Amino acid sequence: MNIANNIKITDDILDILGFTEYWDENGSWGGRILKFKDGQWFQIIQSSEDDFGKEYKEDKYSFAGWFANPKIDCGSYDLETIGDMTNCILEQYPNYLKEFKNLLNNKLNKEQYE
């Protein structure tokens, strides 16, 4: 198992990986985008509270087909760790898995984030 798989997703990690800045969609949630070399987007949701208005202790990250660009007919994925994100990309964007893994290897200092 790759050590990076256990790294918890945070704003700092997303910044290191090259995701765009957070943009607000609705006051309690918004999105961030990772663009692959050919322009394909991996767009994720960042939420600060649940559907009932209860604030989370820390932001939650997820992927949903309805929020993808272009939209994908799939469910949603909770993205707590890099491993979760890697599995999501494997299932929804398999042609980009190698590029994503190279990005992880090049951008993450594994010892710093263990």
49 compared with 79, residue with greater pLDDT:
79
Which pLDDT does position 4 carry in this prediction? 74
For residue 47, what is the enclosing H or E element?
strand 41-49
pLDDT of residue 111: 45
Assign 89 a pLDDT band (cuts: 50, 70, 90): very high
Q: How far apart are CA 3 and CA 110, in angstroms?
A: 7
Strand partners, 3: none
Integer Cα distance of 65 and 99 in angstroms: 21
| E strand or H helix at 5 | none
Could you tell me which residue, 37 or 108, shows the higher pLDDT? 37
